[in-house]
Structure 1
């Protein structure tokens, strides 16, 4: 078995090295096996960096759609340059194999974090969602829809960054004919009502999945539990999920409102685009949204011993997420009410007699 694995690694090295200096790698190591691909880590000596190599499984080379999907992932990633999306460095195709060379991201995926920790602190969940939403906004600006936003496709780095991974089933709006009719693309518990019904997907489909991820981060469980495919499909299409604050009263109402808007059954009732989700999260996070989201995430990961930071953790004063205008209205009403009550009692005190009234008849004292 070990010899067979070594032969595979040597074949990968041979394929890549034959393509020129830019793709020459060494120190190759098998990391994992995905649904469609084998995942390796290798060092690229010409640039003194580690990279990830995704190799399409040979059993899929005879399926034209899967081959096209693999090529499309490389193509789509190559057009996206954003700090919240994994970068692609190259695409290599030999006689028998296909490879994508990608950024190596040292860190931990969100699904692992949720399994170990459960619910996350609200400001950490909001900071992660904000980074994810910014990455999606970059995709949407290029007419790309991810369609598979879920915790296992979200990587949290040793620098506190949020990286959106795996664009294997990304939909290019200009090439939507690549998906076979009747084929559900995505993970059952994270599908949208329109995907299940076979309707067209849009950027608002990614907004729905973003809402599922935020819900799961805030309470430690998914809004639509996977108790069998048909059951979860029914729940996503028809059933109401348990509200966040019924699950945990300490969850801020502002985040509950964001989740509720994202998880509307009708796409028209959701946030019209991910930019509006970004704005709502920025309002909630306040000062943390501008320059401190990575620090918030990294401080949490370090505290929970989930990663070893590779950059210093900036000292963050106890800055709480900004209260929204609803909160300020409530505070203002209380202040105005207190002032009016003060004026009323002050006026009453001035008009009241200096001494209590004198009663002349005994029955007045009863």
Structure 2
């Protein structure tokens, strides 16, 4: 919670965007210039619709339309975070990151129009393979991790117009936030709790942010996080694709947090006997408790590409994923 006006670490007052006016009842079929087709998903801060924008001469663009939830439309913290997400996402131009095309306000509700990724998520893929008592094939899993690592490497090293590092940390790398298109390519989405040099004040409030089971040890204990935190959580996603079960268990919240803090890899040791040694070494590198000892996202991307090449899997991952998604 914010008690009084927020300030930076030097005690200077920070400008918080004025919340929109109370949201009016949204036209069920439209939001601004976009026509709503259906509701796709909802989270703690926003909901997402499938929508399209029409133009002259039969022009039509299908998008994923993300709208801040009505109950949060007048909350300065949520409004500020939503605006920060849109501003940050607008800077990101990479094939492995979901693009943002538009940002606006309609009837008191803020929204952003994003690239519509036709396909599934790594989370749904994991549920599918687990239901068949299978795991994601090695080549497909390494391909997803390689593309995600390349996307993170781009974000982590992005600079502003003056050449200064933005110091972006996603902080929510998880199966739900890795989309898979129908061609078998991975795209990172949802920078809603991302931290960067220009927005850190809104998310450094002492709260643990991230999804349970997909946090780094430093996140769990409330320490400062940097780009190496994203590398740890991407390692978690890769490991879970290879064992088809939660890496840190499904127990009580506190038990899961303690396992993350202690980097308890019991599940990986028990269920990962089939994982090749070179891949196991990569995972162990990602899971170093000391962030300084972990690879950067770029180093991880290069290492994954080398493993794929050695195994003759380079370029085969997309087709394998596409076949899996046809189930």
Shared fold per TM-score greater than 0.5: yes
Within the candidate set 123, 127, 131, 2:139 is matched to 123
Partner of 1:222: 246
Partner of 1:238: 262
By relative contact order (CA 8 Å, sep 6+), the higher-ranking structure is 2
User: Which consecutive unaligned segments of at least 5 residues does structure 2 have?
Assistant: 1-23, 159-166
- Give the aligned length: 289
Distance 1:230 1:133, change over 3 A: same
1:42-62 superposed Cα distances (whole Å, 9 cap, x missing partner) = 122224221111111111123
Q: TM-score, normalised by structure 1?
A: 0.74
- Following superposition, the deviation at residue 278 of structure 1 comes to 0.8
1:72 & 1:161 partners in 2: Cα distance? 27
1:95 & 1:29 partners in 2: Cα distance? 19
Q: Does 1:36 align with 2:45?
A: yes
Distance 1:93 1:264, change over 3 A: same
SS in structure 2 at match of 1:145: coil
Whose helix proportion is higher, 1 or 2? 1
- Following superposition, the deviation at residue 239 of structure 1 comes to 4.8
Partner of 2:35: 26
Partner of 1:72: 84
- C-alpha RMSD of the superposition: 2.2
Partner of 1:282: 305
Q: Choose 1 or 2 for highest CA Rg.
A: 1
Q: Does 1:134 align with 2:134?
A: no
Partner of 2:222: 198
1:62 & 1:227 partners in 2: Cα distance? 36
User: Which consecutive unaligned segments of at least 5 residues does structure 1 have?
Assistant: 1-6, 17-23, 307-366
1:161 & 1:42 partners in 2: Cα distance? 22
Q: TM-score, normalised by structure 2?
A: 0.82
C-alpha contact 2:84 2:199 (8 A) present in aligned 1? no
- Following superposition, the deviation at residue 84 of structure 1 comes to 0.5
1:12-161 equivalence runs, <5 A? 13=30, 15-16=31-32, 24-26=33-35, 28-46=37-55, 47-94=59-106, 96-118=108-130, 119-142=135-158, 143-161=167-185
- Following superposition, the deviation at residue 186 of structure 1 comes to 0.5
C-alpha contact 2:29 2:36 (8 A) present in aligned 1? no
C-alpha contact 1:87 1:102 (8 A) present in aligned 2? yes
Within the candidate set 313, 318, 321, 1:300 is matched to 321
2:25 & 2:313 partners in 1: Cα distance? 46
